[in-house]
Amino acid sequence: MALAAGEPAPELSLRRSNGDPFTREDLLGKTTVLVFYPFAFSPVCTDQLSIYNEVLEDFRERGATLYGVSCDATYSQTAFRQQLGIDIEQLSDFEPKGETCRAFDVYHPGGFPQRALVIVGQDGVVTWSHQAAKPSDLPGANLIFDAL
Amino acid sequence: MGPGDHVRGEGVEVVVYGDYECPYCAALEARLHGLAARVCFRHFPVRSSHPRAHAAACAAEAAARQGAFWPMHDALFADQGRLEDPHLWARAERLGLDVARFDADRRSDAVAARVREHFRSGVRAGVATTPTAFVAGTAHAGRPGPEFWALFGA
């Protein structure tokens, strides 16, 4: 199951869409919501990110920054984001594949992220997490709002 | 259900979050229509899967401004393959609406805000897919099963 509240966020080895690294340092000083999703362009992930994007402004008002995290390459994530017309920044856990997902304990044995949500506080400590019972389950955004 | 909601019918109260391009929503609406149900419909257009759902929701709200929410609602669900702008104008004309006013209203900020308000209320209630129907505070997400229809004696 995903790292529980109270555990420090691990080191991250993620890449932003422009190839820049996204590390643990990037979590500090703000509230971060990491949305781990299995695959770009898959049906449930499509709906999940689309629905969350519709209320992105509400997350911002609550002081939270949302990121989508998957093991897809940055180019795939960018194409996915453009196709959906969404603003949620994407972070790639492509190489070493799934290393950050493993560190958050959300790596599915099938080689993709579990569908999981993790909130990291300004001090870099996990404040809440949720892992869907199965990857096809779509957690409502209300879970995040309730946890913020 | 609130005073600003679109509500019709008599019977078991059900709040439906739906999208006019979603076939399961159309099937749910059609079946509920024949049952003892007091139906409240709220918009939950999922644009990624249904690119015309938002425009259709705005069309229903624009029709509501001329007192024709339910006729437009039924007309949208009745022909989900025709939701482009000319099809929306044709429906408005067929329903006897002032088409110019309808067209201005459906593109207005006020109508977009109303659709967004519905969407947000759905998100806050935990809606993550369409249709999602609430009966007595319990959410029934996706295509309803026999336990849902049993609530209406079906």
Q: How many CB pairs under 8 A join A and B?
A: 44
CATH number at residue B35: 3.40.30.10
Please tell me the total count of domains within chain A: 1
Whole-model pTM? Answer: 0.87
Q: Best residue in B19, B44, B123, B134 to probe A by mutation, most A CBs within 10 Å?
A: B123
| Bridge partners (DSSP) listed for residue A31 | A64
Q: Is residue A8 part of a domain?
A: no
Do residues A27 and A120 lie in contact, with contact meaning Cβ atoms separated by under 8 Å? yes
Q: Is residue B119 part of a domain?
A: yes
Do residues B61 and B114 lie in contact, with contact meaning Cβ atoms separated by under 8 Å? yes
CATH number at residue A118: 3.40.30.10
Please tell me the total count of domains within chain B: 1
SS (H, E, C) chain A: CCCCCCCECCCCCEECCCCCEECHHHHCCCEEEEEECCCCCCHHHHHHHHHHHHCHHHHHHCCEEEEEEECCCHHHHHHHHHHHCCCCEEEECCCCCCHHHHHCCCEECCCEECCEEEEECCCCEEEEEEECCCCCCCCCHHHHHHHC
Task: For residue A10, give the nearest of A128, A134, A129, A125 by alpha carbon.
Answer: A125
Q: What is the pLDDT of residues A47-99, one digit of tens each?
A: 999 999 989 999 999 999 999 999 999 999 999 999 999 999 999 999 999 99
Q: Is residue A96 part of a domain?
A: yes
Q: Best residue in A51, A58, A82, A137 to probe B by mutation, most B CBs within 10 Å?
A: A51
Q: Is residue B1 part of a domain?
A: no
- Confidence bin at B3 (pLDDT 50/70/90): confident
Which residues in chain A are closer than 8 Å to B125, comparing Cβ atoms? 142
- Domain boundaries, position A61: 14-147
Residue A59 is encoded by which pair of tokens? 């997350």
**How close is the nearest chain A Cα to the Cα of B65, in Å?**
25
**How close is the nearest chain A Cα to the Cα of B125, in Å?**
7
Q: Is residue A4 part of a domain?
A: no
pLDDT(A102) > 80:
yes
Q: Is residue A5 part of a domain?
A: no
- Domain boundaries, position B29: 6-150
